[in-house]
Every structure is written in structure tokens, then in C-alpha cells.
Amino acid sequence: MSNILIIKHGSLGDIAQASGAIQDICENHLDDNIYILTTKPYLDLLKKFPNIKDVILDKRLSRFNIFYLYILMKHIKKLNLSKVYDLQNSSRTNFYRKILFPKAENNIWSSSITSLPKNTKKEEFDKISVLKRFEHQLKNTGLITKHTLYPNFDWACVDISKIKKNFNLEKYILLFPFCSPHLVLKKWPYYNNLIKLIFNKFGNKYQIVTAPGPNEIADAKNFNANIILNNNKALNISELGSLIKSSSFVVANDTGPAHMAAHLGVKGLTLFGQHTTAQKVSIERENFKAIQVNDLNKLSAEKVFQRMNENLN
């Protein structure tokens, strides 16, 4: 029995995307102990993942914090790892590789760098869709990949029957009109117009709801939608996953909840400006689609509603 480490720091959407790759790693190492190195927001979430021995916290303090770096590396070295799967593929995790396994090749440290296709630069490789990059990385290290291209985030869900009862949730359309303050170019500005179109078409057939994060509750009051909270606090990731899973339809900006929805198999739409492409982030699924435009300010509520109406029934 060997000890295997997976590195996945985040973000939320990235965790949802990596679910298939993590599942494939676990299924290829059924007789081994699997550990995951992650950050604080995803510590409890990843403890729910089946077949994981333990989850290790990386505070991601400065690389110049020698004391912290020493403690973390010492803890990891004690595991006597036989293999590391770096699914974060960042400059930080490559820095860890140079400390832990300075001469390691793909048979010991699997990453986008150690598994680059021949005569391909990392900058070019990173233009490929994220799930295909994961698939290449894992196949290149000898794994059988059944789930990498088809992530399933159902493992993260919990029972929210009490929350649904409190808000009388049966049929509902779930909106995520939020984005990080420093990524306002991802924010579509016409959610209230869309809500009006939904109400005019369907009346009270669907509740219109939203589920803000801890820093989005005040912003949520600007939308004509019921705000779903748990004891006046934002839902945790697992509760949010269950709320998404039970929805009739999701409309979202390109944020973590959109990626959760895509990999929970629900019907929905995500709205993309020119910040990236839906193809590159592998968000389109059988039920979950994207609208891609150059300028989100020029994407009308009528166009979004038309696409939504076509896919809702």
C-alpha cells in the first residue's frame, strides 16, 4: 500500500471541474492511501470525497515564510509519498515539486509541466480546455480515465430538506448575478429584466431565487428574487450544491456556482463575455449551456430568456 497525494487548492469552480480527475485517481489507486492538499475554503468539502484518507491544509503563506514552508514540507515528507498528482498546476505547486522531488519526472510527480506533449510549450498547452488537459496529464502517467472528461459533483451534496421547507421551495429558477469585486467584467447587468420576463411568461409557476455567498448578501437585495439563507447565513458549499441540484433551471455569471451547476447535471445557462471562453473552461455539458458575447452589457435579457425558455421544458 502506497501513499498518494493530490494537490488542488481551488477555486470552487476548479474543485467541481477536477472532481472527475480526482475520482479517476482514486479508482486507479484503490489499494493506496489518497491524501489531498487544499486550502481552507475547501477543507471540509473535500473530506466528503469518497475514498480519501485525509485532507491536508495549505495556508499558502508567502514562500519567504521559511518556518511555515518547513513545517508543511516536513509534514508532507512524513507521508513517504510514492506519487503526487498536481491538479493545481500553478507556479506555487511547481515550487513544491522542486523542494519535495527536485529530480522527479512524470512517474513520480504528475503535472502539466512534467507531462507536456512533445515539442509543446506550457503556454500553448494551457490554451487547451481544462478537462482535456487533465485527461492528457493522467493518461500520460498511465491512468485509465473514465470520469475526467465527465465530472460529477453529486458527492458534495447534503440533505437540505429543512431549508427547502423553510422557503417553500418546490419548482424554482436559481440565479447567480454575482461576481468577485475585481472581476466585474464577468457581471451581466440585466438580471432584474430577466426576472420580469420570467414572471410575465410563467407567473407563479416558478419561484425566482438566489443564493448569495457571505459577501454577497447585501448585493442580493438589489434583485427581485427570494434570498435563500440558512439561519440568516450564506449556504455552505454542500448546501449550495443541493440547492442547485434541485433547481428547475440556473442562470449564472461565469463563477463557481455556474461550474457546480454544470457538473451537477442541471439545466442552465452561463453568460460569458470576452474574459475567457466556455470551451476553454469546459463548462458546457448536456444540460448546461453558455452564451458567449464580446460585451455582456450588450447581451439583452430577451436573448437570455429566449435561450432559457427553449431549454427549460
pLDDT at 181 > cutoff 80: no
In this prediction, residue 104 carries a pLDDT of: 85
Same domain, 163 and 288: yes
Same domain, 34 and 101: yes
Same domain, 185 and 120: no
In this prediction, residue 175 carries a pLDDT of: 98
Query: pLDDT tens-digit profile of 40-94?
Result: 999 999 999 999 999 999 999 999 999 999 999 999 999 999 999 999 999 999 9
* pLDDT confidence band for 184 (50 / 70 / 90): confident
Q: Which domain holds residue 166?
A: 155-312
Tell me the pTM: 0.94
CATH label of the domain that carries residue 64: 3.40.50.2000
Cα angle 150, 154, 157 (rounded to 5 degrees) comes to 155
Same domain, 183 and 146: no
**Residue that is last in its domain, among 106, 129, 152:** 152
Same domain, 212 and 275: yes
**Residue that is last in its domain, among 152, 176, 202:** 152
Burial class (CB in 10 A: 0-12, 13-18, 19+), 249: buried
Same domain, 49 and 192: no
Number of separate domains in the chain:
2
pLDDT at 183 > cutoff 90: no
Query: pLDDT tens-digit profile of 252-284?
Result: 999 999 999 999 999 999 999 988 888 999 999
For the chain, list the strands marked E by DSSP: 3-7, 33-38, 54-57, 83-86, 109-110, 172-176, 207-210, 226-227, 249-253, 268-272, 288-292
Query: pLDDT tens-digit profile of 190-234?
Result: 999 999 999 999 999 999 999 999 999 999 999 999 999 999 999
